[in-house]
Structure 1
Amino acid sequence: MDLAVIFKAGKKHWVIALSGLIIPHIIVWVVAICIRDYMDPELRKYSSIGGIVSAIIITTFPVIYSILRDMQLLSSEIGRVALTTVIISDAVGITVIIAFEAVKQGEDKGINALYYICTVVGISGLVIGGIPQVMQWINRQTPEGKPVDQKYITATLLGVFVIAFTTDFIGAAIGNGPLWLGLAIPDGPPIGATIVHKSEVIMNDILMPFAYATIGLKTDIFVMSECWSCLTPLFALATMAIVSKLVSVVMAARFTDMSYRDSLAMGFMLSLRGQTEFLLYLHWTDLKIIKTPSFSLMVILTIIVTGICSPIIDFLYDPTRPYMINKKRTIQHTVQESELRILACIYDQESVASLFSLLDFANPTSSNPFTVFALYLVELLGRAAPVFIDHTKQNEDYWDTNNEAIHNAIKLYEEARTDCISMNFFTSITPQRTMYQDICEIALLNKVGFIILPFHKKCIEDGNDFSTAILRPGVQSANANTLSHAPCSVGILACKNAAAWGSLPTRSSNCIHRQFAMLFLGGPDAREALSLADRMVEHPDVSLVVVRFLASEYKGDDESERKLDDGVVTWFWVKNERNDKVVYKEVVVNNGFETVSAVQSLNDSVPIDLWITGRKNGINPTLLEGLSEWTDNPELGLVGDFFGINRF
């Protein structure tokens, strides 16, 4: 959890957070005063009522984060709003709970409350004020790219037990100390990411199941029926808190111009309960505020509320809905002599040079300028909330050392091509499963016509085939999801020879001449690929071979698609028939074997630097008959995978 988010939160976040705290508190306090005489003697105390009311109303960050992560909503628009809002709620909520704890401590002697507050302020100040300096020193001691020394990780994890014991000893909840320690540790690598990597499996797979087992052992649903009359006031209090929280958040979200569906989804998100509430119930039991029947009631209510809210959120909010448009932007329908907007995705430094080379070969000019949105995608490690940085508007430091190198490369590239290319640089730190959401959102908001994605395999420098290539973890699923949800055309750049593409081309006469080949099997994807190839052939150092594959006597063709193909191909040939750098040929084939043979003969006759093809399998299954069993990379399509990657 990053408390700096509080200072960057907008009006929307503050309105929703404060409305979801203040209004329910007022309503539930009024109800509590009305039914106070019917409560148990211990629960009847104002300190007990205040602690319980605050705990029920306040939404905690760990709960929201874990549920939204599992629902893959962390990078969604409403997910970001919910995370920022709940951080504000947490900051206010922790203060309120500490205040009521102080009142509880001072019930016997007033001086105890003062001792409690002074001790809490002293320990929290020591942790938050001193620990960050120690952690920064550890970061400086760790060589770049190396893991943090094991002794520092061990000391930090032992510190969790020490601070937990200390806060429990002074009367604060046992969970407050580890929370303060977590806030004091810098997020991201090396120290933050290493701690997560070392402890995540033990926490999630061993300790958390035992913690839930402890909750289950303390829960007794049968004892509830024996004293239901004494549970009725607590049940009414909890129900009113949940309902008032939901209604107030929905009203506040509508006030900030969110849609009805999104407002309802936000309300149910901030009504989620989980492990933090269970910890508080145990704390109440230790303080003898509630007994086993009341504890069991609160646990069951928590499970029911979360069990109801989660599927409702899933029904109300689909993060891909904004990208589901009727007409996608394409290169083919971008008017000539106009700006082409391109989103270039970057996963690591190795993908930068080949992406920029492809941009140059797409032939930006002063009359056909490019606006390029470069998005550097980083896996979320060592922190909870996703981060999105627009470097044209924010001057924000970021811990990833690759960021500076990539940013400098983008600046140099733009400076060399100011007459035809303008660059915008973004960094997105997000879980790999939801990277596609940021990609699609930027493409939609900036009216992008073409997205370029690096392939999920990067070559080893010795030039071996992709069978020995290095995988980019998680990139394949991100690319596949982008292809499914993108609001525009998407191209995947699979570079077999990074060294050959490493130097950025210029328009000098000394540039190496490139030979490209476009394989046209028909259909919308093939027509879009031909439009890209048409732009590339205008580059002075590019020659192009276009091969159109046709079935014998057009048997099996989709007639309507073939007519569209004829129109695009005719337009292309009329435009380039006098261009010596363009060769167009038609090949009639009867099966996939003949198609492979035709491409093999083309590759043997002249070395091809770039294969361009549509992803889908054309308008006639005859052209690729018998090749489907060879597909290893479905995101490239059968043609791209078999012809462009594996064989040549």
Structure 2
Amino acid sequence: MAETRVNASITDVTNNGTIWICEHMFRYQRSKGIFFYDNPFSFTLPVLFLQTTLVSVSTTILQLILEPIGTSSFFPQLLAGLVLGPSVIGQNEFIKKWLFPPKTFYISETIAFFGSMMYMFLIGVKIDISSVTRTGKKAWAIGIFSFIIPLMLSLLIVFIFSTGSFHVTTILLADLKLLSSEMGRLAISSSLISGFISILWVTCLSTLKQSETKKDNGPFNWMTMSFIVMILVIIYVLRPIMLWMIRKTPEGKPIKESYIFSVFLMVLSCALFGEYIGQHFMIGPIVFGMAVPDGPPLGSALTEKLDALVSTIFLPLYFLYSGIRFDLYIIDAQSFAIVQVVGIVSSIGKIVGTLLPSIYWKMPFTDVLSLGLLMSTQGITQLLYLQSSLHLNIIDEQSYGNALIALLWLTGATTPIIKLLYEPSKRYLSLNRRTIEQSTSDIELRLMACIHTQDDTSSIINLLEMSNPSLENPICFYVLHLLQLKGRSAPLFIDHQPSSKKLNAPHSNHSQNIINAFRSYEKQKSNNVVVKVFTTISPYETMHDEICMQVDEKRVCLLIVPFHRQWRPTGVTESAQPIRALNRHLLRMAPCSVGILIERGTLCRNNPLTSVLFYSVGIVFIEGADDREALAYAMRMANHPNVRITLVRLMEPRKKNRNLMHRDPDGDLIHRFKVECIQIKRHDYREEIVRDSVEMINVIRSLDGCFDLVLVGRRHATESNLFSGLTEWNEFPELGPIGDMLVASDSTFDGSVLVIQQQKRSGVGYHDLSLDSGINTMQESITIVEVPRERKVWPIA
């Protein structure tokens, strides 16, 4: 056809209602530009760019608007596609002509499905398929019942709403920040089982539908055999190749680009083979994605390279295509009502299917209802099932439109209800808080430390040694190695106890040096200390829930976390805002006392396993529960032969002449320190009279070079003259005024600091406004590893 600049079309409607649109084709699909009198919107490529921009921007705007009410990301994505489709904005003739000409959708549809294929592949990459074998009976029962019951209720009309999806549930949990919650763990395990059953169900139905036109079973048998062959090739050929790639990659190094390229070719080959044998082209990439070893180095590299592009560009284009297939004006009231009722019945069936096993396990009703709503949510997986059913003529366009509306409103209504019903922190905020001050010295002291990198190990071990584990005062020490979630949909919790079931996964290797160091220390201290090491892999945004649950389960008295800045031998500090946000969440919510350790080299100058260390420890005591908690911890250290304690008491003149004994808890504890510790000559007590903040700062500065470690309380009475004007200048509000003075950029103090906060004893958590300033969090997606926990070593009174 000769080159033309006419953007005309001829529309014809046949007798059976089929619409034919004839358009002129251009030899050249690129515009020469407006300066050569070309209209860019007469060409496919510029229109495609505009469509992609419009749907991406619309999705982002809708997500920002709807996020506060707790909607999942699927809701604004689908809504944006429907709004830009022919039923809303696309009804305008000008927009329809220039922004959505029919010829562009041949290209946009191809790109959209390619993007959705890569998206589903990434879903498979993030799934830990081996977790199915580790799932408990409760999750199996909920997963099976939540599939069967809604299927039985809605089988006579439609089967789509009975299907489940692991990915849809995981994304919703991430959107609601419930990934690390107790209910989130159960929902992920249950949806994983329900999702596998759903995939098998839909695949069998699709295969049968394509074979029903044949009188014999030959095509069905060949399709089934070919599908099984594809799975075997993926498991026994492609997966070993990927494992070889991982073995060839040095630990801590990024995987080679050539390996990434090879995996990408495998994805395309699986999609091509699936289409060739008559299966949906996404089945191959999904199955292959599940065979990819999740996490670093391969799984995380694939998600880092593809996730942003696929999720923000290709996926919105897919939802635009989905919206274009939707026509509101062909829907009649009767069919609409029927499909909506089916959707409601299916959702009720999901809730009932979740409720029956949960009653057996005596779960709280609110948790059961929230879990049922979670299991009933719909997403992109169900949308793909709908489009496959439309392609195979299982449903017509009217049913497709009705089902799309049901998907939209059911998901939009469900997620805010879940957010309203379920709050994971209620489990530990309602408990009485455990503190060192309230614990007696003749029972086991339970401490927990969080470690981000193995560089934190030496300082934590030295602090544990200073805590004076002994036969009379044993310590049970829990170590949580915290890793950011990468290349997985669901977080992972790993127990590294010798009696626990070992995981043949690369995740355990990240903690090996930490495990070895603590095992060596435990062996050296014989029966005085028991160390238990765990690894938790989760997003920083919800990591505090996992830590708080472990604190509650282990009955810990003091949680020690590293400061977000690290002092290196070069003097350079590194800052990580997600870690800072995590520390602030823990200060608000932890069901025990919290200590933030600022290590500046004094606690890791020697190896505690090979040398005898002597530490000088100072306590700055003013007043309040936090200072008492710091002093109570220091008194635990005081019996260690290689620790020297100096208590520096800062007092205002009006309080100097008060008889502290038997008047207030501060005086009682200081009196105990004098009676129990001052008689030991190496310990000391100093009293300083300070009238205002200037004199207090001078005393704090005089501590320079005197101590290896200083313990301070975080909060004090703000109405005191000693703190007048200090809070406005705090660089790190989470450290309190004294801790900030010792750590701030202009401080000359070179020792380490432990800032301690004693949590409130009862009720719910408090809201500290000082923790809300200057914080940025990283938004990020728990497979359950059910392993036996060792019993406590010493009885607890």
The alpha carbon displacement at 1:80 in A equals: 0.7
Native 8 Å contact 2:165 2:191 kept in 1: yes
The alpha carbon displacement at 1:357 in A equals: 0.3
Work out the number of aligned pairs and report it: 614
- Report the equivalent of 2:322: 215
1:424 to 532, 554, 561: 532
- Report the equivalent of 2:106: none
CA separation in 2, counterparts of 1:382 and 1:539?
A: 45
The residue type paired with residue 430 of structure 1 is S
1:635 aligned onto 2:739 = no
Aligned CA distance change for structure 1 residues 599 and 232 (closer, same or farther; 3 Å): closer
- Report the equivalent of 1:489: 593
The alpha carbon displacement at 1:71 in A equals: 1.4
- Between 1:495-504 and 1:125-134, the stretch displaced more is 495-504
CA separation in 2, counterparts of 1:579 and 1:125?
A: 72
Aligned CA distance change for structure 1 residues 154 and 560 (closer, same or farther; 3 Å): farther
The residue type paired with residue 635 of structure 1 is E
The residue type paired with residue 396 of structure 1 is L
The residue type paired with residue 57 of structure 1 is S
For residues 117-162 of structure 1, what are the alpha-carbon distances to aligned partners after superposition, in whole Å with 9 as ceiling and x for unaligned?
1222122222233211111121122222221112222332343344
CA separation in 1, counterparts of 2:313 and 2:661?
A: 59
Aligned CA distance change for structure 1 residues 326 and 28 (closer, same or farther; 3 Å): closer
Aligned CA distance change for structure 1 residues 580 and 645 (closer, same or farther; 3 Å): farther
The residue type paired with residue 668 of structure 2 is G
**3-state SS of paired residue (2:649):** strand
2:573 to 445, 469, 472: 469
The residue type paired with residue 301 of structure 2 is T
CA separation in 2, counterparts of 1:567 and 1:143?
A: 57
The residue type paired with residue 196 of structure 1 is T
Q: 5+ unaligned residues in a row in structure 2: which ranges?
A: 1-126, 750-797
Matches within 5 A, 1:410-449: 410-449=518-557
- Report the equivalent of 1:247: 352
CA separation in 2, counterparts of 1:262 and 1:183?
A: 30
1:589 aligned onto 2:690 = yes
The alpha carbon displacement at 1:546 in A equals: 1.3
Matches within 5 A, 1:185-200: 185-200=292-307
- Between 1:192-201 and 1:633-642, the stretch displaced more is 633-642
Native 8 Å contact 1:523 1:561 kept in 2: no
- Report the equivalent of 1:37: none
CA separation in 1, counterparts of 2:333 and 2:275?
A: 32
Native 8 Å contact 2:712 2:738 kept in 1: yes
For residues 231-274 of structure 1, what are the alpha-carbon distances to aligned partners after superposition, in whole Å with 9 as ceiling and x for unaligned?
44434433322222222212322222211011101100101111
- Report the equivalent of 2:632: 531
The alpha carbon displacement at 1:426 in A equals: 1.4
1:14 aligned onto 2:122 = no
CA separation in 1, counterparts of 2:633 and 2:603?
A: 23
Q: 5+ unaligned residues in a row in structure 1: which ranges?
A: 33-48
1:379 aligned onto 2:487 = no
- Report the equivalent of 1:521: 622
CA separation in 2, counterparts of 1:552 and 1:85?
A: 64
- Report the equivalent of 1:90: 195
CA separation in 2, counterparts of 1:22 and 1:180?
A: 23
1:3 aligned onto 2:129 = yes
Aligned CA distance change for structure 1 residues 303 and 572 (closer, same or farther; 3 Å): same
- Report the equivalent of 1:35: none
The alpha carbon displacement at 1:539 in A equals: 1.5
CA separation in 2, counterparts of 1:262 and 1:319?
A: 10
- Report the equivalent of 1:46: none
- Report the equivalent of 1:309: 414
1:80 aligned onto 2:180 = no
1:159 aligned onto 2:266 = yes
CA separation in 1, counterparts of 2:239 and 2:737?
A: 52
- Report the equivalent of 2:716: 617
Native 8 Å contact 1:537 1:581 kept in 2: no
CA separation in 2, counterparts of 1:372 and 1:313?
A: 36
CA separation in 2, counterparts of 1:126 and 1:4?
A: 18
The alpha carbon displacement at 1:505 in A equals: 6.8
The alpha carbon displacement at 1:11 in A equals: 1.2
For residues 142-190 of structure 1, what are the alpha-carbon distances to aligned partners after superposition, in whole Å with 9 as ceiling and x for unaligned?
2222211122223323433442343234332332122111111111111
CA separation in 1, counterparts of 2:504 and 2:544?
A: 24
- Report the equivalent of 1:112: 219
- Report the equivalent of 1:26: 152
Aligned CA distance change for structure 1 residues 487 and 591 (closer, same or farther; 3 Å): same
**3-state SS of paired residue (1:375):** strand
For residues 95-134 of structure 1, what are the alpha-carbon distances to aligned partners after superposition, in whole Å with 9 as ceiling and x for unaligned?
1112111220221113222222122212222223321111
- Report the equivalent of 1:44: none
- Between 1:60-69 and 1:240-249, the stretch displaced more is 240-249
Native 8 Å contact 2:645 2:683 kept in 1: yes
Aligned CA distance change for structure 1 residues 560 and 207 (closer, same or farther; 3 Å): farther
- Report the equivalent of 2:679: 578
CA separation in 2, counterparts of 1:277 and 1:491?
A: 47
1:452 to 560, 570, 579: 560
**3-state SS of paired residue (1:419):** helix
The alpha carbon displacement at 1:302 in A equals: 0.9
- Report the equivalent of 1:141: 248
**3-state SS of paired residue (2:607):** coil
- Report the equivalent of 1:355: 460
Native 8 Å contact 1:550 1:623 kept in 2: no
The residue type paired with residue 126 of structure 1 is V
Q: What is the RMSD computed on CA atoms of the aligned residues?
A: 2.3
- Report the equivalent of 1:100: 205
Native 8 Å contact 1:494 1:645 kept in 2: no
Percent sequence identity over aligned pairs: 30
- Report the equivalent of 2:282: 175
**3-state SS of paired residue (2:600):** coil
